Chains A and B, each alone.
Chain A
Amino acid sequence: MDYFLELFLGGLTRGSIYALIALGYTMVYGIIELINFAHGEIYMIGAFTGLIVAGLLTMYGFPGVSILAIAVVCAVIWAAAYGYTIEKVAYKPLRGAQRLSPLISAIGMSIFLQNYVMLAQTSDFLPFPELIPHFGFMESMGSIMSSSELVIVLATISVCVALTLFIKFTKLGKAMRATAQNRKMAMLVGINVDMVISATFVIGSSLAAVGGVLIASHIGQINYYIGFIAGIKAFTAAVLGGIGSIPGAMLGALVLGLTEAFATGYVSSDYEDVFAFMLLVLILIFRPSGIMGKEKAQKV
């Protein structure tokens, strides 16, 4: 039973991180119908920024919890800046081009960013300091759930709630939903669509950066390649839940995280990534619109 619970909570943690990344995919896809391939790289850049800031602060002797807070804030700022810039450089000039063009541009951007970080930093695995504190009250549950797992799950839940409220009630959130529904109509009623698209990229990138710092601190090491696999898996989660739907992305991430945890726990850990890809292929074949997505008629 303990083993089951451990796997379940591990899956919950995984799912939380996937959710944080998947939200960015799904928001961008909802608005401009583009798979932002570079999104996984934003997550990686967030983790690297967090590492650099944390390293600096540790050296100057800052206390533990403030390091985590400042590292997360810096990671969010820079990841958001990268997201904003990528949209302006690689996607905006291609609006209205053929469907394949922005996608190829996105793949190019992803390759570029990976190699940029590799050349500027290193191609080796870097140890990531443990930023999340150990709580005393978690000692008794140490065998099934660690403090960092608890922090990750709680942080994800609060971020998801905040995002849902933001999308539902704020002016910008409403503008986003309007743009996702019909970009031309949104323009006609006076929504600054370019601004909304930029905001989407900024928000999505910030969420990915939060995920990046938290998971890096939990696992304890990063390298320039982590964004690729995480990005594909988060995309799987977004598709699983129905791409374009925000609650769908959260649900899909949870399902994916749990599936992976149980499959590696009970079947075989060698094929961890294969399970995720198989799940992706199967969903796309049998239910391409996802769990919570709507079936869309093809327009002529």
Chain B
Amino acid sequence: MSETKSMNQQGFLNLFLTAGCDSFPHALRKSFLVAVWFAFLTFPIMVIKVNTIENTVVWHWHKIGYLAVAVFFGSFIWRWLLARKELKKDENREETRIESLLTRVQSHPVLKYLALGVLAAAAAVFPQVFNLYQTNIMISCLLYIVLGLGLNIVVGLAGLLDLGFVAFYAVGAYAYALCNMHWGLNFWFMLPVGAVLGALLGILLGFPVLRLRGDYLAIVTLGFGEIIRLVLENWGEVTMGPSGISSIDRPALFGVKLGVIGSTHYMYYIMIGLVILTIFSVNRLQNSRIGRAWLALREDEIACQAMGIDKMKTKLMAFSLGATWAGMAGVVFAAKTTFINPASFTFWESAIILSIVVIGGMGSIRGVIAGAVILILVPEYLRDFAQFRMLLFGAIMVLVMVFRPQGLISAKRKVYEYKVNTAGAANE
């Protein structure tokens, strides 16, 4: 037993040091060359800072040294990960440890309810235990879970890459802000209205563009998102332009206006409710007739049409159902921050939501939740590294696509289990 273990370790070390190369010296030489290449590549932008007005220049030579060392070791890891991916390709994909733990808990009758109970209790007491700041962060995390699950319908289930998702979010937020400002409409009335507006806009946008293939669709939705933002910015008479709309009402509890603490807690519980509703509906949708049609469409459009699925209708459903959640989330966002302006709805917001879906695991509800928790909470607690946040988002998106295209927690396909016993019984 211990022998095999040590052999495994040796195999691991061997693979790590020589992956993709003939021998260890070869690997060393390769890494060295890669380090030199990256030092050359990043030289002007990392090292030299010129000021063309005062004609001064600052050199940062040390940066390139750190970078070269990091790249040297990084290239070993890179090659090792690539080799491991090649090796794994032949075997049947095994579950990762987190996934198998989750499956075990879920399939165990007692453990499942125990885990759910603990989770529910923790969610219920969270605002009582932690301070207002933490609660606010948690609210935005929950908001991103809802957005992520909404986008997951479009990208993860139906396989339509939507880069303008933030447009629906913006429409929800502006709908609430404007109706509240002009007519004093309240939050609870506007929440469903936001959802309907999102869905309608989804159909309106979806109708002309859904004929397009994957990458064209991505660009058009991106353009559409930018159009919405530019209109919000420039149509000053209606939207107040770049300065935005302020002092939007927070939701009131049965007509009673709450203070800051009370309304934050209230907001938190509203979000918990909304997240549960979203998870429930997305889960039901996923296993419904339309959900299975989405999966089929994602895998092979032509085969799917041959099976008699109306492509147009199915895609439109995905678009509008995804947009519904964004519209609702927009209303909540406006009520939470009490101030909105077009700067909150840039392409980066779409990119963050997309990375939540991609990194968490496309098509997997648990994955999207994990993605939102990691991508929103971790940067909040690492405030010192806040400026590196988008840099890391970008790098992680590339790395996840290269090494783990299915995301952290991959979606599990429902497998039809055919039991011999029952089949025999049916034959009799």
Contacts and interface: CB of A to CB of B under 8 A. Distances in A.
B87 interface: no
A89 to B, nearest CB: 7
Nearest to A296: B213
Contact of A228 (B50, B159, B347, B396): B347
Nearest to B389: A115
Contact of A108 (B38, B212, B227, B394): B394
A281 interface: yes
Nearest to A98: B405
A274 interface: yes
Interface string B202-219: 000000110110111011
A90 B51 contact: no
A64 interface: no
Interface string B41-67: 110111011111101010000010000
Contact of B220 (A53, A127, A281): A281
A94 B45 CA distance: 28
B211 A288 contact: yes
Interface in B126-181: 155, 159, 161, 163
Interface string B270-308: 000000000000000000000000000000001000000
A82 B397 contact: no
Interface stretch (A16-24, A44-52, A155-163, A182-190): A44-52
Q: Residue among A55, A109, A300 with the most chain B CB within 10 A?
A: A55
B40 interface: yes
A119 B388 contact: yes
B390 interface: yes
Interface in B233-254: 234
Given A81-B41, A129-B52, A274-B230, A108 B224 contact: no
Interface stretch (A4-12, A99-107, A138-146, A253-261): A99-107
Contacts of A82: 41
Given A90-B398, A111-B394, A285-B208, A277 B50 contact: no
Nearest to B402: A93
A85 B41 contact: yes
Contacts of B163: 107
Contacts of A90: 398, 401-402
Interface stretch (B92-100, B330-338, B350-358, B419-427): B350-358
Given A105-B398, A105-B402, A59 B55 contact: yes
A232 B44 CA distance: 26
B231 interface: yes
A117 B351 CA distance: 18
A105 B400 CA distance: 8
Considering the complex of A and B, which 3 residue pairs feature the smallest CB-CB distances, nearest first?
A108-B397, A55-B50, A112-B394
